[in-house]
Amino acid sequence: MKSIFATCFLILIMQFIDGAAENENPPEIEKPQQPQLPKLSVDQLHKAANSIVDTVFNFIPREAND
């Protein structure tokens, strides 16, 4: 069983090396630019997190006995 696993593993490695050799000089692909996000202070992040939590808890139905 170990030899079958070792053989399959070796074949996979050889296929990977073969594929890497074929793509030594792959064409360059332009990367899309990431949108620049505004830098927020700790207070702004804290307020935003609290706002998100408040919004989520407003959608949770409350028990009638509260």
Q: Quickly tell me which residue has 């998100």 as its tokens.
A: 52
* Structure token digits, residue 37: 């996000």
Cβ(21)–Cβ(13) under 8 Å? Answer: no
Q: Look at residue 17 in the predicted model and tell me its pLDDT.
A: 66
Segments making up each domain of the chain, as ranges:
1-59
Show the DSSP H helices in the chain as ranges.
2-22, 42-59
The 8-class DSSP code of residue 51 comes to H
Tens of pLDDT, residues 13-60: 677 766 655 556 656 777 777 777 677 777 887 888 888 888 877 877
Q: Is 39 helix (H, G, I), strand (E, B) or coil?
A: coil
Measured in degrees and rounded to the nearest 5, phi and psi for residue 65 equal -90, 0
What pTM did the predictor assign? 0.35
